[in-house]
Amino acid sequence: MEKPVETLPLAVRDLTLSYGANNVVHHVSLDIARGGVTVLVGAATAVARARC
């Protein structure tokens, strides 16, 4: 029998990802609130919104 997976609540901007090449780093923030995810690239540019 599988054990239940423990989940933790995520607050807004708990996750920040970074990627880049040629010494340029782009910061991507994932805002998670009320079942929605907003992806922010750079300082505050909203480029995508998805419902979970």
Count of structural domains within the chain: 1
Determine, yes or no, domain membership for 19.
yes
Contacts of 4 (CB under 8 A, 6+ apart): none
- Per the structure, the complete domain to which residue 31 belongs is given by 15-51
Determine, yes or no, domain membership for 20.
yes
Determine, yes or no, domain membership for 4.
no
Q: Of 13, 21, 19, which is closest to residue 39 (Cα–Cα)?
A: 13
Determine, yes or no, domain membership for 38.
yes
Determine, yes or no, domain membership for 33.
yes
> How does pLDDT run across 1-52, given as a tens digit for each residue?
566 656 555 555 555 555 555 555 555 666 666 666 666 555 544 444 444 4
Record the pTM: 0.23
Angstrom distances, CA of residue 27 to CA of 4, 5, 8, 42, 46: 33, 30, 24, 5, 12
The pLDDT value recorded for residue 47 is: 47
